[in-house]
């Protein structure tokens, strides 16, 4: 694994505009950054990223099977009791899921370590699946990369295949939904909708704010039709807290991601994974924060924090990094396994699972040890 500085493509911003990549720059700061790329060997990808991702995914699914009927565990995860039966039913009937991303610390030397699962509303998808692949093809064509360069990236193909497999089980009308004013989220659902259309699925888009409730408790679109299936790039725990959340279990609404993803999108799953697989080389020791003494190096994370918000990291030497944010409530304590610096940047690997298959990755790098929403996306290549 190497970080290699290169010259940007002269026309990449024009390409981004042409392909609808409207969030390559956020708040006047670069999000997409191709002034460097990360180079890997095929052996690294297969053994250190792809295989562990597949194993961790299966371990997580096995754990859901044990948690859905365990009231004590559901309380530890701070999942409201009103949704327990709904979540359990969605798992027992194997309500289909689409995708997820796990964040891994990897430095090219030791085993990749799982930081967390983003299995309900994962973003950085379009740039990982499409735009970095376009970057690879252009860099091979202009001679910057060797002709046999490759990328761990079958994400788009797997998404189209997964939508095709889900098509018979999707209830119409089917909408993709996100917060109206989130450029990144709107870009993500537009990309996913395009993948669904390629798979032959009729679907539309709808702002979360425009979803209504009928007198009989059905979720409706702007035409007052009961929504059959909703892909919602909006956290399940936030839906639970909304005034209309109480209608979910009896609404007949099919959700993608399904209700059982509330278990895996919760950082409380990390202590449970460690408890089930103590000493696993790709896991970090973790426990619920019960106020007991902390180890020399540790990280505290709220169960539902996102984008590195409200994280406190303390290294073994006492150096501490703390991030602001809106999240509160129960926390976990995870052993501190700091990211490795490459040219002063700290890369985090986002490893993608579509359906149940590990199929690609994207890297985001930050200037600090905690990867936040200001982190930049940097492309990668497999150099034999």
In a domain, 24, yes or no: yes
Q: What is the pLDDT of residue 190?
A: 97
Q: Which two tokens stand for residue 342?
A: 């490459």
pLDDT (tens place) for every residue of the chain, 384 residues total? 999 999 999 999 999 999 999 999 988 889 999 999 999 999 999 999 999 999 999 999 999 999 999 999 999 999 999 999 999 999 999 999 999 999 999 999 999 999 999 999 999 999 999 999 999 999 999 999 999 999 999 999 999 999 999 999 999 999 999 999 999 999 999 999 999 999 999 999 999 999 999 999 999 999 999 999 999 999 999 999 999 999 999 999 999 999 999 999 999 999 999 999 999 999 999 999 999 999 899 999 999 999 999 999 999 999 999 999 999 999 999 999 999 999 999 999 999 999 999 999 999 999 999 999 989 999 999 998
Per-position b or e across 212-244, b if 16+ CB within 10 A of its CB: eeeeebbbebeeeebbbbbbbbbebbebbeeee
In a domain, 377, yes or no: yes
Alpha helix locations (H) across the chain? 12-18, 42-44, 51-67, 71-76, 84-92, 125-126, 132-141, 155-166, 183-198, 236-241, 261-264, 269-276
In a domain, 198, yes or no: yes
Cα R_g (the chain), whole angstroms: 21
In a domain, 325, yes or no: no
Count of domains in the chain? 1
In a domain, 302, yes or no: no
H or E segment and range at residue 363: strand 357-366
In a domain, 309, yes or no: no
In a domain, 83, yes or no: yes
Pairing outcome for strands 36-40 and 2-5: antiparallel
pTM of the prediction? 0.96
Provide the residue range defining the domain that includes 246.
Answer: 2-266+340-382
Q: How far apart are the first and last CA of the chain?
A: 12
In a domain, 102, yes or no: yes
Q: What is the pLDDT of residue 106?
A: 98
Scan for tokens 């790098």, then name that residue.
365
């Amino acid at each position: 694994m190497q970080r290699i500085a290169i010259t940007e493509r002269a026309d990449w911003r024009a390409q981004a505009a042409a392909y609808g990549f409207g969030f390559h720059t956020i708040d006047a700061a670069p999000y997409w950054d191709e002034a460097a790329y990360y180079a890997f060997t095929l052996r690294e990808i297969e053994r250190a990223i792809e295989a562990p991702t597949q194993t961790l995914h299966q371990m997580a699914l096995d754990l859901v099977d044990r948690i859905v009927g365990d009231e004590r565990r559901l309380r530890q995860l701070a999942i409201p009791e009103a949704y327990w039966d709904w979540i359990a039913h969605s798992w027992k009937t194997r309500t289909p899921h689409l995708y997820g991303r796990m964040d891994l610390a990897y430095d090219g030397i030791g085993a990749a370590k799982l930081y967390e699962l983003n299995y309900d509303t994962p973003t950085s998808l379009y740039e990982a699946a499409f735009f970095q692949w376009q970057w690879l093809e252009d860099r091979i064509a202009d001679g910057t990369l060797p002709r046999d360069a490759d990328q761990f990236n079958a994400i788009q193909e797997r998404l189209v295949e997964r939508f095709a497999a889900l098509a018979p089980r999707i209830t119409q009308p089917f909408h993709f939904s996100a917060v109206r004013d989130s450029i990144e989220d709107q870009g993500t659902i537009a990309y996913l909708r395009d993948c669904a259309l390629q798979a032959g699925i009729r679907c539309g888009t709808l702002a979360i704010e425009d979803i209504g409730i009928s007198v009989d408790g059905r979720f409706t679109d702007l035409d007052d039709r009961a929504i059959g299936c909703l892909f919602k790039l909006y956290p399940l725990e936030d839906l639970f807290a909304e005034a209309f959340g109480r209608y979910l279990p009896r609404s007949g609404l099919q959700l993608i991601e399904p209700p059982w993803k509330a278990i895996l999108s919760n950082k409380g799953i990390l202590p449970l994974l460690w408890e089930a697989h103590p000493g696993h080389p790709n896991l970090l020791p973790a426990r619920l924060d019960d106020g007991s003494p902390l180890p020399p190096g540790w990280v505290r994370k709220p169960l539902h924090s996102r984008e590195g918000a409200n994280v406190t990291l303390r290294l073994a030497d006492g150096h501490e990094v703390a991030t602001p944010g809106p999240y509160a409530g129960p926390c976990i304590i995870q052993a501190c396994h700091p990211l490795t610096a490459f040219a002063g940047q700290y890369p985090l690997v986002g490893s993608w699972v579509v359906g149940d298959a590990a199929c690609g990755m994207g890297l985001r790098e930050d200037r600090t040890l905690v990867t936040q929403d200001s982190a930049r996306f940097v492309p990668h290549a497999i150099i034999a």
